[in-house]
Structure 1
Amino acid sequence: MFIPILRGTFFRAIDPRFRAHALTGSRSAGRYSRPDQPTLYMSSSIEGVEAAMVAHKGSRSMELEIIELEVEAENIADLRSPELLAKVKIDVADAVAPWQEVVAAGATPPSWTVRDRLIAAGANGLIDPSRKRLGLWHLVLFRWNDGHGPTVRLRGM
């Protein structure tokens, strides 16, 4: 049902002041993460990072650097797959629904429920198609470098 093995180089925009913490994941709520759920958001290309940053203008540092990460991950749910969505009973509209306004209003966005369902089904993360540019995609990990799941390392280290 899930992608058995996903290996490759992925990209992430970070504030250079926090480079030492680049692998700790998000520090605040995200599309697929409550504020207390570590989540690592990456893109499959530099263009994907740039497209994703459009949605975060104003909430991110103006001084960002793009880092390269080497990833090896198992059990990744591909949200581009209608078969997977049907099997895990996920409506793609829940994944792409606006989330920032919902969180700001103190409610739970549907995309957090998508994460919950995927974790319950055994997923370690997901592939999220870009909403800004057709053909681009992002990798979101729910766990990594814990000895049992995906591994991520800063390229060149």
Structure 2
Amino acid sequence: MNLVRIGPDEVFHRYLTPRWAYVPVSGAGAAIDGGRFNRPGIEALYLSRAPQTALDEYRQGASITPPATLAAYKVTLDQVVDLSTGYDPLIWGPEWAEWDCKWRLIARIDKKTPPSWKLSDILITAGCRGLLFPSLQHAGGTNLVIFSANLTADDKVDVHDPDGRLPRDQSSWQ
């Protein structure tokens, strides 16, 4: 595995669902149903290096974009696995060949464990803070999944909101 450091203060992006924009660094939403690199019950925050990649990830192929708020993040992390150039059998073990599996189909329809969840189990157990990986929604884009439980005091994931424009609670949604 290729371990890298991100930052200091490298900028990443995410489109936030308006209802949950008051907790922009939470990985709780991904923990509800799971994500490509997290099983249900495991918090993970998914970010993108570029705004267009973040938009395409948020849309997930939908023809009409649902309401969203774009947020930028300043990220400083140690111990991040870099798969951003994709799978290369000369660098990665054979278990990484299926990182881009159809995880939703495998988990929800086939009722099996997706290979990407097994990979994240390995990374989380090893104490890795996150994983850089190619976007499957935006050609050439790069995503970062952050494993919230593995963050330390030296790591930083801050939403950039200098004017306090993001909501502070869910009062608008009651």
Q: Which bracket does the TM-score occupy, shorter chain normalised?
A: 0.7 to 0.9
- Asked if the contact 2:14–2:55 (Cα under 8 Å) also holds between the matched residues in 1, the reply is no
- Asked if the contact 2:128–2:150 (Cα under 8 Å) also holds between the matched residues in 1, the reply is no
Residue 38, structure 1, aligned to residue 43, structure 2: yes
- Asked if the contact 2:57–2:138 (Cα under 8 Å) also holds between the matched residues in 1, the reply is no
Higher mean Cα deviation, 40-49 or 139-148?
139-148
User: Residue 101 and residue 145 in structure 1: after superposition, are their counterparts in 2 closer, same or farther (change >3 A)?
Assistant: closer
- 2:12 match: 10
- 1:101 match: 105
Alpha-carbon shift at residue 56 of structure 1 (Å): 6.1
Alpha-carbon shift at residue 84 of structure 1 (Å): 9.0
Residue 63, structure 1, aligned to residue 67, structure 2: yes
- 2:52 match: 47
Higher mean Cα deviation, 129-138 or 75-84?
75-84
- Structure 2 Cα separation of the partners of residues 45 and 70 of structure 1: 13
Higher mean Cα deviation, 10-19 or 20-29?
20-29
Alpha-carbon shift at residue 146 of structure 1 (Å): 4.8
- Structure 1 Cα separation of the partners of residues 158 and 132 of structure 2: 19
- Structure 2 Cα separation of the partners of residues 16 and 129 of structure 1: 26
Alpha-carbon shift at residue 92 of structure 1 (Å): 3.7
- 1:140 match: 145
Task: State the one-letter code of the partner of 2:147.
Answer: F
User: Residue 102 and residue 52 in structure 1: after superposition, are their counterparts in 2 closer, same or farther (change >3 A)?
Assistant: same
* TM-score normalised per structure 2: 0.75
Task: State the one-letter code of the partner of 1:43.
Answer: S
User: Residue 139 and residue 39 in structure 1: after superposition, are their counterparts in 2 closer, same or farther (change >3 A)?
Assistant: same
Query: Between Structure 1 and Structure 2, how many residues are aligned?
Result: 153
Unaligned runs of 5+ in 1: none
User: Residue 108 and residue 67 in structure 1: after superposition, are their counterparts in 2 closer, same or farther (change >3 A)?
Assistant: same
Task: State the one-letter code of the partner of 2:37.
Answer: Y
Unaligned runs of 5+ in 2: 163-174
Higher mean Cα deviation, 142-151 or 130-139?
142-151
- 2:168 match: none
* Offset from partner CA, 1:102-128 (integer Å, 9 cap, x none): 121322111101111222344210001
- Structure 2 Cα separation of the partners of residues 145 and 114 of structure 1: 15
Alpha-carbon shift at residue 150 of structure 1 (Å): 2.7
SS at match of 1:37: coil
* TM-score normalised per structure 1: 0.83
User: Residue 118 and residue 33 in structure 1: after superposition, are their counterparts in 2 closer, same or farther (change >3 A)?
Assistant: same
